[in-house]
Structure formats: C-alpha cells, structure tokens
Structure 1
C-alpha cells in the first residue's frame, strides 16, 4: 500500500482501496464517517462537538452504537468477575494472577442480562445495538446474554477498541467450550488478532511475533513474560492476519498445539505469512502439550529455550513427516521438495526461496542443486504484475511509479509522466521551465489532464498543493496521481536541466508526428525548421 503524506492520501494497488486519512480510519476501524472523524481528531488533540452529524446516519449509527454496546458490556463483565467465586477459583486453577486478569480485562458474564439492560437504558443505547453487536440475543420475546455464565475474554483491535468477546464455559456446565462474537458491524473473524493492542505496544515493534490459537495460550504467555504474542481467536490464520503482522514483524513463531491438528494449523498458516516476506519459525512442543499447558508446567527459561531452538521451515517439514531421513525413500524426498517449492513460491524473494530449498536438500542428504522454487505466478495462475516502471529517459535513473502500482505507460509517454513528476515534486524549480508547455504536446491524456490541473492550481494559489490537486481532479485520474513516486532532495540544477530535457523531447516528438502527417512540401519544410531550432536549443 502506498501512503503519500504530502497528498494526505493512501492507495492500495492490490485491492483498489484508497482515500484520505478519514477514509482510511473508516475502513480500518470499520466505523462511520463521524466516528472516524472523532478518532482522527482525538489523535490530533482537536475537540469535536458531541452532536456532530452528517445527513443520513444509517450504517454509521449502527457501528457507533455497536461500539458503545461493546464498551458497556465490557464494563459489566469486568465488574462482575470479582463477584463470581467460581470464576476466580477457575482462574487461580489455571495459574493466572489478578494482574494478568486486569491486563487483559478478563470478565465474567452474569447469567441474566439485567445489569447490561439497566446500563443501556441509562446511556440511552437501544437493546437492538447489543443484538447487532452479538452480545444479546432474542428468543420468543425474551432477551438473553449470549455469553451468560461464561468467563469473558475481550477482543481488541490495534487501536484498543473492544470489538468482540470470547466466552469460555465454566467447569461442570454443558455447552460449547467457547462462544465467540458472531460477525457484526465491528467484528470480522478474518481481521482481529487478539491481543494486537498489547502486542504492538509492547513487543511487535521489536520485529518478532508469536502466534497462538487460543485465549488461554495468549494469556499464559504474557504472564510468563512473552509480551509479543497474538491469538487468532479460534480461527485459521488468514491473509488479513498475515498482512497486519507483516506491518510490525519480520519473524513470526507459529506456536500451536504439539499434536497433528497443531501441525496442520502450521502448514495452513505458512502460505499467507510467506506472501508477506515474513520469516516463519516453529517451536516444537511435545505431542500432548499445548502452549498454555507447557508454559504452566515449565520455567521461563525452558519456554525461552523453546523459541531459541525453534525449527526453521526445512527442519519443520522433515519433522512433520514423522520419519527419520534415513527411512525416507527417494520418491518421498522428491515429493517433499516439490511440496516445499509450491509453498515457498508464495515468498516474494527468489533468494530466500532458493536458500530454503537448498537447506532442505542438505537435510535430506541430497546434492545442493536442481529443484527450483515454482515461480510466483504458478501459485496464482496469473502472470506476475509489473511492480514499477523505470524512466526510459537516458541519465534519469529515477523510479516513476511506486512499487505495485501497475500503471501502464507507452514508451513515448514516459517523458510526459516524468515532466509531471518533476513539476509536482519540485514546483518551485520545475514550474518556470514548464510555463511554455502546450497541452497538444502530450500523447497520453492522463498526464495531460493532471498537468493542466496542476498548472491551473499553481496560477490560482501560487503553489501546487498535492492534497488540493487530488480533491479537484476526476476520480479516473486519482490512481495515476497516487502512483507517482515523488523524489526528494535532488539538486535544483539537475531538476531544471531534466525538466527542460523532457519539455524539448515532448515538443520535438510533437513536431515529428506533425511532419509525418504533413500534406505539402512547404508544410514539411516549416516543421523541419522548428525541429532544427529545437536541436540547437539542446
């Protein structure tokens, strides 16, 4: 994703999403415009009137009310925990302290929803908001708490907002072991990583993360001093999870159960992680252990040692076969290499893919050569997209578009985009050079229109504000503007010289095209004089 602070916009060329800071918060936090505006304003220390609204509220109101409902429910659950002796005893039996319960805001849901309903009435929040948020349910005219009688683990997003809950059944009760918030205006199972809020503020910025499956795994690790862990909230690791982790961590430990199901979960998690260029490691647990049980039964040193000696991918693949290398047949080794190549194809680095394969070959006792990783297009079934376009103008060496933008440009139009790039990056230097540029010199309508808008804005305001330019141009031009790589720090003389070269090349190309279309000898001769004059200016 490309973020342009100078323009105040973002653009994801993979999915097409884009907009300004408010739009980003709307999409990322899954809130309406007014709520997003409040979040951005709070970051900037700006007060927003409580009664602020814009037109038809609709879904924005639903999301805001669901957020308030979640917060009320969390308060009720946290306040109820100390009153439930059974819940307190259960937490103690799992070795959890009061400090840990406070850190994760663990709570307990009362059997009936009366307290939540009372709080809702006092805050003027409709019952429908709690139903929409997945907290309360309705059946035959009766309202009930979906988590009633359960130990509550709140689920937070990265900004610290509670977006859902996981409820664990108490010992001796019947029912599903865990009940999670259903899909709601705030909660999608593919998006949150509990507890990303804690992990990012305390550990992920160090470049490493630990992924676990369950709430108790996460809490036990935190209590043992491992504060860079996140949980997938009872679902498989998704592409969205991996993308979020890739923003903060370059090495990820897949710390799942030691049984077959845990190893299967590791295999399913590899492709989305490798696609982010993340290094994956697998701590090896005994078959009968899960992260929570291992942490509770072993010292902090033993837990740390588990991560220090974690398997890399080749070691995991060999161990996962459940057989010694000596007992593997040539066909089994060949199958392992091909399966590994298919998984590694998701990693964007050819060097990393090849290194892992050669390491696997050495572990299998094979010569370090031959089987190459499948090209990335093998996985998607598509030809790899062009990541960027470089200028074809001799001596430039500057990138034209940001990586991943996939903007197609004809060779003859490259100089037009480059001139636009110079004007937007260095308006004070390139501006005087482009004053005599005529729009008919452009062969590509996209840079022509952008150039026209930029010059008009400069004449009106005396400067080219990228944010204002983005606002005034048609929607069809915004991808091209967002994709431009805007360099910084070039010497003014170089900028002026290159800008002039682009202008002269565009004018010469224009006259050469006119010459090819000329009908009379006189017209050709006049055009040739113009071209010769341009050559002298060089």
Structure 2
C-alpha cells in the first residue's frame, strides 16, 4: 500500500489547474478557469476549475471533486493508480507501507515484469522504425495496411527481428533478468539456450486500462503453415487474456463520452477504426468474449455494439457472446458489414462520415439480429422456427432487468408473429429451470383506470433535504464570516398577541447556525449532511477554519462530490458572463446574514409544520381530554407558524 505520507505529499504538491490542463483546454475566468466539459459534447463551457479551492465542477454532467477524483472519472484510474500518476508527474518518490516479505517479493516480481514489458515495447518500436529489417518488413506491412506513421507511433506498434535471440540478448545486456523475460513469455528458455518467442513477427503491445504494457500480440508475415498466424503472450502474473481488452487504454475516454463501445475481433480492426475517427472501439483479441471483459466495458458504458463481418458462419459462432453481454445487464446491438468486408477493410475504404452513418443505420437490436440471421433457414420449417423462437426467448431470459425482459418479449412477439402469452409462458419455464424467478407475467385484459392529466402530476420537493443542504452550503462558503444578525425574539404585545421583535447581535456564521440548531434541538435527518455538519462544526470550533483542499481530500468520493457541488454552485452563474450582457446577478456574499436568518426561520417553520401534522394524527387516536390538549397545542403552533410565515413573506 502507498504510505499516508506519500498521499499527503501528492495532495500538497499537485495543482488541479495544472493536472486538468493536460486534458481540458482551460481559459482564465476571474480567479477560476473554465472550459468545455470533457464528459459531454457541448459548445458553451460548463466546466469550472478553482485553483483557490483546488476543486473542479462539471455542471453539464454533475461530476466534481479534487484532482484525484478527476483522474478516476476521466482516465478511469483506480485510487492508487491516480496517486501514482500524480507522484510520477511531480517527481515524488512513492513510499510503501510495511509489507510481509512474501507480499513484498510478489509486488517486486510484478513490477519487474512490468518493467521488462515496457522495455520490450520500446525495443520493438525502435527495431521497427530504425533498423533496415524492421523498416523493410515490419514498417512496410503496417503501411500496406493503411496505417499512418502517427497511428503506428500512437499504438506503439513494433517488430521483432527474424533472429533466434536478438531481443533476449539485448535485454540481458541491459541488465534485465532472464527469470522475468521467461515469466512474461517474451523469451523461451530451454536448458542453456534462450529464444525470442516473437521472432520475425510484427508486434501489437496490449495495455491495461491505465496504459501499462501487460503483454503482446505478434503476427507472422511469412507463409509458414506450421506457425500460428497470431501469437499472444502466455498467461502471467500481469497478463490474463480473459480480463484484458485490446485498445481499452486508447478508447476509454471516447467510450465514456459516446456512451457506447464498439466490439470487434482483431487488433487491426481496432487500429483502423480508430484511425478513421471511431475511437470508442476495443477487441477481445481473437479469444472468446468473457464476463470479465464485459465488466471492464461496463465501468465506462452500459451500451455495446458488436461488429461482425459478412461471414454468417462466424456470426453464428460468436452469438454466444451476445447472451453473455445480456447476462451482465448490458444493452447490446449488432452491426453486420457487407459480404467480404470486416471493420478493418470497410473503415479503410470509407470516410469517417460514411462509416459513422453506416454504423448508425445498420446497428440492430439483438432480437432483430437473431431473427434476420436465422429466419431464412427456419421460415418454411415449423420445427426450426419453433427452435429459433425458443433460442430468442432463451436470450431474453439472460437479461436481469424485468422491465427490459417484457419489452423484448413484446418485440419478439411482433417480429415472429406469435402471441405474447406463449412467449411469457416459455420465459417463465426457462427461468424456472434455471432456478430464477420472473416478475414478468402473461398479459391480462387491462382493468379500467382513472388517468390523471399531466398538469395534475407534480414533482414533490423534499423541503427538509433542501434546507439541510443549504445549511451545509452556508457553513462551507461563509462559516467564518462575521455578520450582524437580526435575531427575531418572540414576544407578547399589548393585545396579548405573539409577535416577533428584532434584536441585533454580532456573531460568526457557524456560531449563529450551531447555537440556533442546538437551541431548537435540531438533528440532521440526511446521513451525508449529518456527517458533513459534524465534521465542519468540529473543524471550525477547534481550528477556526476549514481548509477546503485538505477537507475534501479526506472525504470519500460521494461526500467529496457533494461538497464540490455546494462550493462551485455560485460559480455556475459566472460561466454565463451575465455582467458582460449588463445583467447584474446579486451574489450571496452581499446578503449572508439575511440568507442565514431566512434558512433558520424556514427550517423552524418546516419543523413546526411537522409537529402540527404529528399532533393532528395523534388527535384521531386520542381520548376527548387528550384531544382538547392537543388542539390547544396545534393552535399555538399555528400561531407561531403564522408569525414565521409573515417574516418569510409566505402565504399560509
């Protein structure tokens, strides 16, 4: 584990505007920076970075947080990966907490394998671009495939010399241990001799989500029938074929932004489509699709479009993968290229606009795809047709979401011209056999129901949630500000009526809020706000201030996001540059005392309303004597509520 000292040093050193500036084009806007959202497509900037508070907020997607939160959202790093990225950027040495000798040895071995793989990747790139054999054979092959020099460098493509041990000898000469060359599968060791596994092949490095080289795919360029056309690194401590997707490092941002992932078969399919402008594409590298690979995509999107070439036999063989995708709760579409075309060849022959249009127009729902693929064979054969329908319902049974199941049953009924009841019944049988239950039932005749007009349906605002949120916001933004508060004291006038009379007192915002809530014995009902309130009040009481940067860094991602939203809400208005259009927006700073006072009054009014409701319910269950007492209490509370409402200028 990374030591706390290293993490603290990273947070103290890293500047949010510098780190985010590597990913987003930022422009100065007052004391802040603004830019276009990296998470959504937009023309007007809604992305704000605060160097003072060391936080960022994207108003278009609602995301926000500190510098680590950005790397986890944008680069899809884990927390340790984000810390390591920042440590590397700012040349901070990473300290590890005490590990057992066994753990340390395992960690050292893994790191050694990563270092060997990184060296191999650079060696193969250098061989491709700077040796005569590499340029004549490897580089010529890639250029024949239509790859530009920029693409070749981006994907770190390489070449392994057609010599028995050229790579292994160079690695040993550079000080890399034979043990790790063998464990990564780069070298084959037989007694006293060592051989290069990828001799005479063009090389495709396989990266992790965070960009580390895990293994390689190598394609042979000779017509040797005894040798496999493609050869992958063997399984190792760092490379597990079933858990890796080729191209995920280069595609992750586009997948998240487009909210869709194109799934293809080979390395060149990924590279060619990427070069053509379709960057949200990955490959299972010739292996059968696994649930681990699907879960990797699900970190970025819930939508997968599987791309097939025109080979019907190949499509039937790959259809199992679709059921696996459905089983993971993903939405799946299928797009088939014309006969004789695959994603690589089709992308090479068509412009980006034509490719995008084709993918958009030809992506079919999996039900439609299965029907179109198998219907021709089955339409004149009742038994085959029944089997096809059974197969389609079997796919639907894999979907964990019951609403989606019902929608697909309806679609299957329409396409195959068979009653929904029969399909529902078949679905229930399949689920029962698999030990599952379904909330989807055969349809009954609809009962008569009263339909309310849309105008009658209104969204109910959670007033207490908003008030508690407002209090946290006031504490975060203005907790230490000293203000003159007009405190309303409840008094009886000459006529015996309850009235509120003003009294001026000077206090800090957090003191005013804390004392008022304590006096009213108010506890926060929202768990997140309760925790934030406790932490903020403790810091303000003990240290006299809240160090925003340090405070946010100590919160979990959910609380951190909530605090960032509260802190940056005011900045949203500045994004629109109202002043430039002569529209003056009154900021909160000018009315802090009033805001605090009104918020506390509104909370009191809400709690009084709740008390009245509780007493009203109690009356229904009480005796006559108790009812009289409760009625008197209600009248007192109503009188108090009226006073508060008048002060807040609200209609009762």
TM normalised by structure 1 equals 0.64
Question: What pairs with 1:108-507 in structure 2 (closer than 5 Å)?
Answer: 108-110=159-161, 111-115=163-167, 117-119=169-171, 121-122=173-174, 125-140=176-191, 142-170=193-221, 171-172=223-224, 174-184=226-236, 186-200=238-252, 205-222=257-274, 226-245=278-297, 252-257=304-309, 258-272=311-325, 278=331, 280-284=333-337, 286=339, 289=340, 291=342, 295=346, 299-300=349-350, 307=359, 308-323=361-376, 326-327=379-380, 329=382, 331-332=386-387, 334-336=389-391, 338-343=393-398, 345-346=399-400, 350=403, 354-366=406-418, 371=423, 397-398=461-462, 421=469, 423-427=471-475, 428=478, 431=510, 432-437=512-517, 451-463=533-545, 488=566, 492=595, 495-497=599-601, 499-500=603-604
2:95 maps to 53
Is it true that 1:37 corresponds to 2:98 in the alignment?
no
- Counterpart of 1:84 (choices 117, 133, 138) is 133
Q: Distance in 2 between matches of 1:537 and 1:486?
A: 36
Deviations for 1:217-253, whole angstroms, at most 9, x for unmatched residues? 3345456665543212233434454455456667643
CA, structure 1 residues 25+120, in 2 after alignment: closer, same or farther (shift >3 Å)? farther
CA, structure 1 residues 456+221, in 2 after alignment: closer, same or farther (shift >3 Å)? closer
* TM-aligned CA deviation for residue 194 of structure 1: 1.9
* TM-aligned CA deviation for residue 172 of structure 1: 0.7
* TM-aligned CA deviation for residue 453 of structure 1: 3.5
* TM-aligned CA deviation for residue 166 of structure 1: 1.0
Q: Distance in 1 between matches of 2:376 and 2:462?
A: 53
Contact 1:220 1:295 in 2 (8 A): no
Contact 2:165 2:196 in 1 (8 A): yes
Q: Distance in 2 between matches of 1:440 and 1:137?
A: 74
2:20 maps to none
Contact 1:284 1:311 in 2 (8 A): no
CA, structure 1 residues 440+354, in 2 after alignment: closer, same or farther (shift >3 Å)? same
Q: Distance in 2 between matches of 1:195 and 1:529?
A: 73
CA, structure 1 residues 242+505, in 2 after alignment: closer, same or farther (shift >3 Å)? farther
Q: Distance in 2 between matches of 1:357 and 1:501?
A: 51
Contact 2:262 2:307 in 1 (8 A): yes
TM normalised by structure 2 equals 0.55
CA, structure 1 residues 256+90, in 2 after alignment: closer, same or farther (shift >3 Å)? farther
Q: Distance in 2 between matches of 1:470 and 1:209?
A: 33
Q: Distance in 2 between matches of 1:246 and 1:284?
A: 25
Secondary structure at 1:211's aligned position in 2? strand
Q: Distance in 2 between matches of 1:358 and 1:529?
A: 59
CA, structure 1 residues 142+504, in 2 after alignment: closer, same or farther (shift >3 Å)? farther
- Counterpart of 1:74 (choices 115, 118, 121) is 121
* TM-aligned CA deviation for residue 7 of structure 1: 11
Q: Distance in 1 between matches of 2:613 and 2:116?
A: 64
1:16 maps to none
Secondary structure at 1:321's aligned position in 2? helix
Q: Distance in 1 between matches of 2:287 and 2:203?
A: 17
Contact 1:433 1:499 in 2 (8 A): no
* TM-aligned CA deviation for residue 70 of structure 1: 2.0
* TM-aligned CA deviation for residue 73 of structure 1: 0.5
Contact 2:552 2:563 in 1 (8 A): no
* TM-aligned CA deviation for residue 207 of structure 1: 4.8
Total equivalences in the alignment:
471
Deviations for 1:263-304, whole angstroms, at most 9, x for unmatched residues? 342442354368565452321554xx57268549x9427977
CA, structure 1 residues 334+237, in 2 after alignment: closer, same or farther (shift >3 Å)? closer
Q: Distance in 2 between matches of 1:200 and 1:139?
A: 40
CA radius of gyration, larger in? 2
- Counterpart of 2:68 (choices 11, 18, 21) is 21
Q: Distance in 2 between matches of 1:149 and 1:55?
A: 44
Secondary structure at 2:376's aligned position in 1? coil
